[in-house]
Structure 1
């Protein structure tokens, strides 16, 4: 089943995407996706809408979420697949993780104002579908709109990464808690887009993978929109080395901004165990 066109990582207006859950379902279906999951940041509020839209299209669906985690000074993301979106512990944990986003956003706006970019908090709010989830992406869209940068990638490079004038660190969930919330909600935890993390030492990544697995994490996102072919090969090898299943997801946010479209990824390496083989009983039809 490695050749299944599964897309198990994308975002809607419920977090920092620009399309409604129903529009994402339609786009995934039109692009030939054969198994889909909506994985909004720290929020499951779009899950019932996404599942209903997928069911109406005959598109098999897995409920999902992407949880922000702080690990040894880095922010990493854990995708949960096959979750029960109504699980009380998960919902409460996500609410706690979202807490503090507004304070962080106001601090980001103050730093941007100090370098001459005023009104960023109010400007970012115009792009927010869910005020509890104001994020760097919403600030990036405002800075593009106002002509400060030509695209959102430039905004992140110049202003919104560590050491730049608009970056404010936030303490997210703990790795063990995020994995536990996912597992207790019936799902499988997946370490998302591993090549994107700027590990401070060569052993840091191995420590992350080892701790993730020790807490009960079961899969690695090997194929994703931001991975090069060399990175896909590297993380396929690491998935095998650590005994992890493999996932595949575009991390689609917007037709204008994303690295690749829904359903447009390379297939998984046939040596790998696809995460969906472990989740057959959780697929909604």
Structure 2
């Protein structure tokens, strides 16, 4: 694929995954190689609230002949829940975006220490230090790192069990964090030349009224896209959000949300294609795609 090749719904685009720079287990270079080996034709690394791996991912992708879009997944607070907004195709050196993400990351350490204190009250000690063993970037310590420690220490059999028993609202290790506002996140992304996308909308368990409010406010702030085909969506979810994309005139996105070979249900590049009646977000971003030299 070159700069003149039109991107279509049949393009194997994977525009949502995570590296060790946030809460994945592979380096950006290893993810690029895995994406290329799995037939991905357009790739984006979307670490949580962090763009420190973007240049590495970009360089690795282009060296492999893999077209690349810059990416990030920003955590925002909406209707009492954490919602994720994926940004694609932005300038990863944009000062306002860099500063906004830095502010969003701030407070994770204090939150992590409070999570560890809650776990200690139910007999799980040393969780903060244990979680740090799995963190490449201490600014981004998260529930996923705690979950990996609890599995390794034998408290649970897998990461899903950890979240069910300890790390969701009302459980001993859950601590809420004040994330960015929806308008802030969309504003940072669009001002840096990118497009904002609502990530895996089926995961939030919003009421129809709350979901309508999310989508309409997102659009009002300049948001343009929604993930339709993603690793955490069922076939029924994909069908539902395909209809949502059409109803609200949103561009459709696709991404595995890959974190780890051991933990992720869906590998890079292994998703169903977007339904043909949708307009893929990568068509709107074609001019922002970094192309390999020929």
TM-score by length of 1: 0.99
Q: Which residue of 2 aligns with 1:74?
A: 81
Alignment partners' CA distance in 2, 1:163 and 1:129: 28
Q: Which residue of 2 aligns with 1:174?
A: 181
Alignment partners' CA distance in 1, 2:205 and 2:136: 29
- Aligned residue among 160, 166, 172 for 1:153: 160
Alignment partners' CA distance in 2, 1:168 and 1:84: 32
Q: Which residue of 2 aligns with 1:240?
A: 246
Three-state SS of the structure 2 residue aligned to 1:166 is coil
Alignment partners' CA distance in 1, 2:90 and 2:175: 30
Alignment partners' CA distance in 1, 2:208 and 2:161: 27
Q: Which residue of 2 aligns with 1:32?
A: 39
Alignment partners' CA distance in 1, 2:145 and 2:280: 33
Q: Which residue of 2 aligns with 1:219?
A: 225
- Asked whether 1:114 is paired with 2:121, we answer yes
- Aligned residue among 54, 71, 79 for 1:64: 71
TM-fit CA distance, 1:245? 0.3
Dislocated runs of 4+, deviation >6 Å = none
Three-state SS of the structure 1 residue aligned to 2:229 is strand
Greater mean alpha carbon deviation, residues 242-251 or residues 154-163: 154-163
Deviations 1:96-154 (A, max 9, x none): 00000000000000000001111000000000010000000000000000011111011
Three-state SS of the structure 2 residue aligned to 1:233 is helix
Q: Which residue of 2 aligns with 1:280?
A: 286
Deviations 1:15-69 (A, max 9, x none): 0000000000000000000000000000000000000000000000000000000
TM-fit CA distance, 1:202? 2.6
- Aligned residue among 258, 265, 269 for 1:259: 265
Alignment partners' CA distance in 1, 2:163 and 2:234: 20
> What root-mean-square deviation, in Å, do the aligned CA atoms of Structure 1 and Structure 2 show?
0.5
Three-state SS of the structure 1 residue aligned to 2:9 is coil
- Asked whether 1:131 is paired with 2:135, we answer no
Q: Which residue of 2 aligns with 1:10?
A: 17
- Asked whether 1:44 is paired with 2:42, we answer no
Q: Which residue of 1 aligns with 2:4?
A: none
Three-state SS of the structure 2 residue aligned to 1:109 is helix
Q: Which residue of 2 aligns with 1:204?
A: 210
Q: Which residue of 2 aligns with 1:185?
A: 192
Three-state SS of the structure 1 residue aligned to 2:174 is coil
TM-fit CA distance, 1:198? 2.4
Count of matched residue positions in the alignment of Structure 1 and Structure 2:
284
Alignment partners' CA distance in 1, 2:193 and 2:129: 39
TM-fit CA distance, 1:72? 1.7
Unaligned runs of 5+ in 1: none
Q: Which residue of 1 aligns with 2:5?
A: none
